[in-house]
């Protein structure tokens, strides 16, 4: 499923969210005001999504439940048919005060009747404990009978920071900021579409969801080199290099050289083949200061020639996109060898490649950030949740993308697109994130099953639709 995830949205963990709320309370804002604000934002969305169907709000014991009581009251005020199923006694404070203001139909969760629309306000960013058997069974029956399940902040039972647990929703309305659970792994998928309710809580963070890029505007005297000249170093499986080169052209590069001892044949003819006799001949090809970026790794193989080609690419002064086999060849010595102190380097590992190069303990955000800081490279840690980490600590997460992208050749395209954007010059937004966005965005316009060969044309459409500056 392609999930809607807000672009450029802040992501914070539970502790950071609580600290942001506390900072606001310290300025004199009351918890009731904030809860009213959260409830109003959620009620607005629920009323739109419910389309007149009866709504059941499941209200838990904490502040998430408090939000639920506000939502019920505001929906009733809009004449939406709504009732509340209560789970546990609302805790003293804002939650209890909001519960006391609900004077509509209410029953215990265990006695709740199925409804077409269910609003899950049982648990939020508090640490969830598993529900006891009776409640768990009742909850799954209520959820199974619903046509639309809307979770407030998190599907109840999911841990905000890890996404672990068992809750599930069709739509999750995140309050104030996204949490790691909304974007990472199976937990992210379990949240369904994500909406962000702006409750005006300032959340300082350097972790954001990906956003549409701005591409650098061409100068009046633009030429094939200034648009971006890239060299794709092709190895034992030249088809992969061909895909990277084809995608680089599609993503706007002005001149793409496909270099190898056996480059792939076939269209497009704009792809310039530089067939070399021996791997060592790469040195002369890369001795060209018009080259804006070198892409190496797709289909490189791991034989002796592959080592030679990689050594020469690393010895060149060019910016690098390193993918596939080249990552495996670098392994644990990646930081020492890539020379990220004298050029831009982008590494594009999937989970297996990442584990061969870096310590992958901890969650994906933390591990990827540490790897970027240790290597000095920008890292695109691919997967259903792609995490981009910059050496300065910033993170960008791309998630919710068409799972049809999970096919052989997809990563080759991505390496080529990133290479093209890196070589396209400055002035736009970050070229690595731009590449990841274009790849995902193009895939989201395809059906579930598509051939990667068909993606480049769609990538070109996306490039042409991007604003420039």
Ligand X SMILES: NC(=O)C1=CN([C@@H]2O[C@H](COP(=O)(O)OP(=O)(O)OC[C@H]3O[C@@H](n4cnc5c(N)ncnc54)[C@H](O)[C@@H]3O)[C@@H](O)[C@H]2O)[C@@H](O)CC1
Q: 210 labelled as ligand-binding? A: no
- 161 contacts which partner out of ligand X, K ion, none, CB within 5 to 8 A by kind? none
Whose tokens are 């070399």? That residue is 276
Q: How far is the CB of 354 from ligand X (least distance, A)?
A: 31
- 131 contacts which partner out of ligand X, K ion, none, CB within 5 to 8 A by kind? ligand X
Looking at the Cβ atoms of 143 and 455, the one nearer to K ion is 143
Whose tokens are 């633009």? That residue is 222
Nearest to 263 by CA among 274, 255, 254: 274
Q: How far is the CB of 49 from K ion (least distance, A)?
A: 15
The helix (H) or strand (E) run that includes residue 464 is helix 455-465
Looking at the Cβ atoms of 39 and 301, the one nearer to ligand X is 39
Nearest to 33 by CA among 104, 98, 101: 98
Q: 240 labelled as ligand-binding? A: yes
Question: CB-side exposure of 405: number of CA atoms within 13 Å?
Answer: 28
Alpha helices in 272-429 (DSSP H): 282-286, 304-315, 324-330, 334-337, 351-357, 364-375, 410-423
Q: 333 labelled as ligand-binding? A: no
Q: How far is the CB of 120 from ligand X (least distance, A)?
A: 11
Looking at the Cβ atoms of 34 and 248, the one nearer to ligand X is 34
Contact 269, 275 (CB under 8 A): no
| Residues near ligand X (CB under 6 A) | 21, 31, 34-35, 38, 60-67, 88, 123-126, 128-131, 152-153, 175
- 62 contacts which partner out of ligand X, K ion, none, CB within 5 to 8 A by kind? ligand X
- Nearest-CB residue for ligand X: 124
Specify the 3-state DSSP secondary structure of 42: helix
Give the x-and-dash track for 144-183 against K ion (CB under 5 A). -------xx---x---------------------------
Query: Binding of K ion at residue 120 (CB under 5 A)?
Result: yes
The DSSP bridge pattern shows strands 395-399 and 385-389 to be: antiparallel
- Tell me the C-alpha distance between 202 and 239, whole Å: 49
Of 226-285, binders to K ion (CB under 5 A) are none
Which sign does the torsion angle of CA 327, 332, 337, 343 carry?
A: positive
Looking at the Cβ atoms of 173 and 210, the one nearer to K ion is 173
Q: Which residues are annotated as a binding site for (6S)-NADPHX?
A: 63-67, 124-130, 153, 240, 299, 350, 412
Q: Which residues are annotated as a binding site for AMP?
A: 382-386, 411
């Amino acid at each position: 499923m392609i999930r809607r995830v807000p672009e450029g949205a802040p992501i914070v963990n539970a502790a950071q969210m609580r600290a942001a709320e506390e900072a606001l309370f310290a300025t004199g804002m009351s918890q009731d005001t904030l809860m009213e604000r959260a409830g109003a934002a959620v009620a607005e969305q629920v009323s739109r999504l419910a389309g007149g169907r009866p709504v059941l709000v499941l209200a838990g014991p904490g502040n998430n439940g408090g939000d639920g009581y506000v939502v019920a009251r505001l929906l009733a005020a809009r004449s939406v048919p709504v009732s509340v199923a209560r789970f546990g006694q609302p805790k003293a404070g804002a939650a209890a005060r909001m519960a006391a203001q609900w004077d509509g139909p209410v029953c215990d969760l265990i006695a709740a009747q199925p409804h077409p629309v269910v609003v899950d306000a049982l648990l939020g960013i508090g640490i969830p404990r598993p529900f006891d058997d009776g409640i768990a069974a009742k909850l799954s029956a209520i959820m199974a009978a619903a046509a639309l399940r809307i979770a407030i902040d998190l599907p109840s039972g999911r841990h905000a920071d890890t996404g672990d647990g068992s809750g599930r929703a069709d739509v999750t309305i995140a309050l104030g900021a996204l949490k790691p659970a909304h974007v990472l792994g199976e937990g992210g998928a379990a949240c369904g579409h994500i909406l962000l309710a702006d409750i005006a809580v300032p959340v300082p963070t350097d972790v954001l969801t990906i956003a549409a890029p701005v591409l650098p505007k061409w100068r009046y005297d633009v030429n094939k080199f200034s648009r971006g000249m890239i060299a794709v170093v092709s190895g034992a499986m030249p088809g992969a290099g061909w895909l990277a080169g084809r995608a680089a052209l599609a993503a706007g590069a002005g001149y793409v050289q496909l270099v190898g001892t056996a480059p792939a044949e076939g269209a497009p003819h704009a792809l310039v083949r530089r067939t070399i006799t021996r791997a060592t001949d790469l040195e002369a090809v890369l001795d060209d200061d018009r080259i804006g970026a070198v892409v190496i790794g797709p289909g490189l193989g791991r034989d002796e020639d592959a080592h030679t080609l990689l050594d020469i690419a690393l010895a060149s002064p060019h910016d690098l996109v390193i993918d596939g086999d080249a990552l495996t060849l670098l392994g644990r010595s990646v930081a020492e060898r890539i020379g990220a102190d004298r050029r831009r380097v982008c590494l594009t590992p999937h989970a297996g490649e990442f584990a061969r190069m870096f310590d992958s303990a901890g969650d994906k955000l933390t591990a990827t950030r540490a790897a970027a800081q240790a290597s000095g490279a920008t890292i695109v840690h691919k997967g259903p949740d792609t995490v981009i980490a910059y050496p300065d600590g910033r993170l960008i997460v791309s998630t919710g993308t068409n799972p049809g992208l999970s096919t052989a050749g997809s990563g080759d395209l991505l390496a080529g697109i990133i290479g093209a954007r890196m070589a396209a010059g400055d002035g736009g937004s970050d070229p690595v994130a731009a590449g990841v966005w274009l790849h995902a965005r193009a895939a989201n316009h395809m059906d579930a099953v598509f051939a990667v060969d068909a993606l480049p044309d769609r990538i070109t459409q996306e490039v042409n639709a991007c604003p420039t500056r």
